[in-house]
Amino acid sequence: MDTQNTAVLLQTVDRMAAPAGECPPDAAFYRRMALIRRFEENLLELFAAGKLMGTTHTCSGQEANAVGVIAHLAPQDVVFSSHRCHGHYLARTGDAEGLLAELLGLPTGICGGKGGSQHLCRGSFYTNGVQGGIVPLAVGAALAEKRKGTSAIAAVWLGDGTLGEGVVYESFNMASLWKAPVLFVVENNRYAQTTPVEMGLAGTIRGRPEAFAIPTAELDTTDPREVWEAARDPVAAVRGEGRPFCLVLHTYRFGPHSKGDDFRPQAEVAAARARDPLLVTGRRLDPEERERIDREVAERIAAVTARLAGGAPEVR
Amino acid sequence: MGPRCVDALNQALHEAFEASDRVCLIGEDVFDPYGGAFKVTRGLSTKYPDRVYSSPISEAGITGVAVGMALRGLRPVVEIMFGDFICLAFDQIVNHASKLRAMYDDQVTCPLVLRAAMGGRRGYGPTHSQSLEKHLVGVPHIAVAAPSAVHPVRDMLRRAILEDDRPVVFLENKLLYGERLLEPEGGRFGEFAARTSEGLYPTVVLSLGGFEHADLTIVTFGGMVPFAMRAAEELLLEEEVYSDVVVLGQLAPPDLTAVLPSVERSGRCLFAEEGTLTGGVGAEWAARIQEAAWDALEAPVARVAAADDIVPCAKALEAQVLPDHEDIAAAARRLLRQGCRSRTP
């Protein structure tokens, strides 16, 4: 494929109602996060109703990271993600219809039903299901954009569990040596499937990129505005200086790793839910506006589900 | 005599770099003056310093970087120094390069060439001497190419880089690097009449019986070609057995077009490879040849391959494990004595 046509790319990106360089308003963040949340909840309901096959990895609770970082990315930028990619995809594209069709295995899905939940591609957005394997692709894509002289950068999402894979460190090393304009975003949701981060990760997360002389910032928030603020300078540096940066975002997923494999303490999940990014952002909205957004998002998901899956499942 | 294989490969790289500024190369120790462990990349980093990446020792990483480059419109070449190290890049080949186009429903292509040096007989021992083609031929959506002394090596590599939109694993044989390539004269390689098929990675059919008569078809590739040609010549001198030697340029996806006419002429087929026997390249090709040419075959397709063992360092021990012209000739004699069809009433 040659350099992608900008007009086509623009159709694959939905920038959350903010001009480049400006923070999206709370209502726009809230609407997109609510879309991601409702999309993910709907998936688990569809599985329970026997209307979805295969597997999925939901990101409920992590929405602020997706919307806060991706709001900085330009249409020509290249985004890579992992098995837990729906939030990143929806933050980038807003395309709940294409994604649900893909998960349902329909020909109208973004990959014709061949990719399913964790093998997505649309425009310059790519994901794969093998831990860490896509990280060097992001380095290569960043180097290719640099070589072609576009101003595009690459951003790649990885998790705490991904840090167990050796190819991640090969990628850090080459990105730093070859000054690849790539933003590594590590979402530490504290569990690799069922393994707590303390059992799977020696040392610190930020010590890893820093060992390769990759500048790193770290924060622990569920507020998309704070994520947006934290990502602004890194994205500008990656683009302006043509070198890598690593953003470590401490987070938590509300749902199981996949569908029914949750062994975490209930109190821990409850404590995380008290910091729900939708609550944090929703408090800043007019209650009527918040309810209207919730209703519109629910109606949109219900309508697309009814159209594609033959009726929304019973909500329990 | 043609150019040395290493020079043909080097020229191909220079031609590809010249033809397109989308071509780049990543590998270990590929910068001048060293120019790669086998000197295939000599001169590239001097002439194109911003398109050659001399990498850390990271086979998985550099293959992944190349996949990312290919996704974004470049045409990267990866050099894996010893083919044995391709195992470290296997996730990138199997789960990334080969799958992206298909699983993304044809929205992308992944045009990259991954070159690797296979083969033994240099005393490098168990982890620097293997022929691992068989682990690659079963991967859908990639091309596995293998140049040989009778192939247009320069064209093969240049066209793989510039014209093939698939991921291509281009497997070079170490012994071949220093050898001069054979060039056909009047459609012949010495005693062998020769025909070369069309396509990016052609099949070269060598025939001692002038494509009119054959008692035996030896299918082979890469570093086994000189052994197969020598065995064929000995069989003619000693047994008056006329052989065709079918030299594959593309191991996968398997294309029998140039093989079947020879098998139909001879009725007996032997597959020779330097890799280990079990689950080998020959197993796949034998099955396909038998399915396609059952009625023409006098006996099951025979296989000559390395023992299912390591490749030892010591020369004498290595020779016991790796097949050569004597093993091919011995297998051919056994095969020629077999005649299950003619004994059937």
Do B61 and A136 make contact, defined as CB atoms within 8 angstroms? Answer: yes
Smallest Cα distance from A121 to chain B, Å: 6
- Provide, as residue numbers in chain A, all residues whose Cβ is less than 8 Å from the Cβ of B61: 136, 139, 167, 170-171, 173-174
Q: What per-residue confidence (pLDDT) applies to A6?
A: 63
Inter-residue contact A298 to A244 (CB < 8 Å): no
H or E stretch covering A79? strand A78-81
Interface of B with A (CB under 8 A): 24, 50-51, 53, 55-56, 58, 60-74, 76, 91-92, 95-96, 99-100, 102-105, 107-109
Superfamily of B5-177 according to CATH? Thiamin diphosphate (ThDP)-binding fold, Pyr/PP domains (3.40.50.970)
Mutation for A interface: B21, B94, B104, B141, most A CBs within 10 A: B104
**Cα of B33 to nearest chain A Cα, Å:** 20
Which parts of chain B are beta strand (E)?
23-28, 52-55, 75-80, 113-118, 143-145, 168-173, 188-189, 192-196, 204-207, 216-220, 243-247, 250-252, 269-276, 302-306
pLDDT value of position B80:
97
Residue A94 has pLDDT above 90, yes or no: yes
pLDDT at A2: 42
Helices B5-19 and B153-163 pack at an angle, to 10 degrees, of 30
CB within 8 Å: A135 and B64: yes
Mean pLDDT of A252-280: 92
Say how many C-beta atoms besides its own lie within 10 A of residue A37's C-beta: 24
Q: What is the pLDDT of residue A147?
A: 96
> What stretches of A95-253 adopt beta strand conformation (E)?
121-122, 125-127, 154-159, 182-188, 191-192, 195-196, 216-220, 245-250
Is A50 or B291 the better-scoring residue by pLDDT? B291
Q: Do A174 and B62 touch (CB under 8 A)?
A: yes
Mean pLDDT of B316-339: 96
Please tell me the predicted confidence (pLDDT) of residue A316: 42
Query: What letter represents residue A209's amino acid?
Result: P
Where are any strands of DSSP class E within A112-181? 121-122, 125-127, 154-159
pLDDT of residue A3: 43
**Can the peptide bond before residue B253 be classed as cis, meaning omega within 30 degrees of 0?**
yes
Tell me the chain B residues in contact with residue A137 when contact means C-beta distances shorter than 8 Å: 64-65, 67-68, 71, 96
Q: Which residue is associated with the tokens 């033809």? A: B19
From chain A, pick out residues whose CB is under 8 angstroms from the CB of B50: 147
Indicate yes or no: CB of A2 within 8 angstroms of CB of B62.
no
pLDDT confidence of residue B341: 59
Q: Are residues B85 and B27 in contact, defined by beta-carbon separation less than 8 angstroms?
A: no
Pick the residue from chain A with its C-alpha nearest to B104.
A111
Q: Three-state DSSP class for B160?
A: helix
Both tokens of B116, joined, read 């690797």
- Helices A166-177 and A135-148, packing angle to 10 deg: 20
Nearest by CB to B60, which of A1, A128, A170? Answer: A170
Between chains, do B58 and A134 touch, taking CB under 8 Å as contact?
no
Mean pLDDT value across residues B42-56? 98
CATH for B188-343 (3.90.79.10, 3.40.50.920, 3.30.390.30, 3.10.129.10): 3.40.50.920
Q: Which residue of A has its CA nearest to B91?
A: A133
Query: How far B4 CA sits from the closest chain A CA (Å)?
Result: 33
A140/B104 touch (CB, cutoff 8 Å), yes or no: no
Q: At B298, give phi and psi (nearest 5°).
A: -85, -20
- Residue in chain B lying closest to A154 (CA): B68
Q: Which two tokens stand for residue A150?
A: 């576009």
pLDDT for A1 equals 40
Specify the pLDDT at position B343. 42
Cβ atoms within 10 Å of A203's Cβ, excluding its own? 9
Are A140 and B66 inside 8 Å of each other by CB?
yes
Q: How far apart are CA A71 and CA A74, in angstroms?
A: 8
pLDDT tens digit string along A177-230? 999 999 999 999 999 999 999 999 999 999 999 999 999 999 999 999 999 999
Name the residue of chain A whose CA is nearest to B74's CA: A144
Residue B105: closest CA among chain A residues belongs to which residue?
A: A111
The pLDDT-based confidence of B132 (bands split at 50, 70, 90) is very high
User: Cβ separation of B96 and A134 shorter than 8 Å?
Assistant: yes
Instruction: Kindly report the number of other CB atoms within 10 A of residue B239's CB atom.
Output: 15
Residues in chain A closer than 8 A to B63 (CB atoms):
136
Question: Quick one: which of A156, A17, A163, A154 has its CA closest to A85?
Answer: A156
pLDDT at residue A261, as a whole number: 79
The closest CB to that of B71, out of A135, A141, A177, belongs to: A141
Distance of CA A47 to the CA centre of its chain: 21
The β-bridge relationship of strands B243-247 and B204-207 is antiparallel
- Cis-peptide into B33, omega within 30 deg: yes
Domain positions in chain B: 5-177, 188-343
Please state, in angstroms and rounded to a whole number, the distance separating the CA atoms of residues A249 and A218.
6
Give residue-wise pLDDT tens across range B156-214.
999 999 999 999 999 999 999 999 999 999 999 999 999 999 999 999 999 999 999 99
Shortest distance, CA B328 to any CA of chain A (angstroms): 42
CA distance B312 to chain A (A): 30
What ipTM does the predicted assembly reach? 0.95
Nearest to B198 by CA among B255, B241, B279: B255
**Between chains, do A140 and B68 touch, taking CB under 8 Å as contact?**
yes
> Could A140 and B76 be called an inter-chain contact, meaning their C-beta atoms sit closer than 8 Å?
yes
Interface contact flag, A137 B68, Cβ < 8 Å: yes
Chains A and B: how many Cβ contacts under 8 Å? 128
Mention every residue, 6+ apart, whose C-beta is less than 8 A from residue A14. A92, A93, A94, A95
CATH number of A22-256: 3.40.50.970
| Interchain contact A212–B (C-beta under 8 A) | no
d(CA A220, CA A35): 23
Are the Cβ atoms of B64 and A111 closer than 8 angstroms?
no
Confidence band of A313 (pLDDT split at 50, 70, 90): low
Task: Kindly tell me the burial class for residue B313, based on how many C-beta atoms sit within 10 Å of its own C-beta (0-12, 13-18, 19 or more).
Answer: middle
Q: What is the pLDDT of residue A5?
A: 63
CA of A115 vs chain B CAs: smallest distance (Å): 5
Query: Given an 8 Å threshold on Cβ–Cβ distance, is B65 in contact with A139?
Result: yes
- pLDDT (tens digit per residue) in B274-320: 999 999 999 999 999 999 999 999 999 999 999 999 999 999 999 99
* CA of residue A274 relative to chain centroid, distance: 21
CB-based contact (8 Å) between A166 and chain B? yes
Q: Which residues of B touch A167 (CB under 8 A)?
A: 58, 60-61, 64, 91
* Three-state DSSP state, A145: helix
Contacts of B66 in chain A (CB under 8 A): 140
pLDDT tens digits, A114-167: 999 999 999 999 999 999 999 999 999 999 999 999 999 999 999 999 999 999
Q: What is the pLDDT of residue A315?
A: 43
The answer to whether the CB atoms of A174 and B56 lie below 8 A apart is: yes
The mean predicted confidence, pLDDT, of chain B is 96
Would an 8 Å CB–CB cutoff place A3 in contact with chain B? Answer: yes
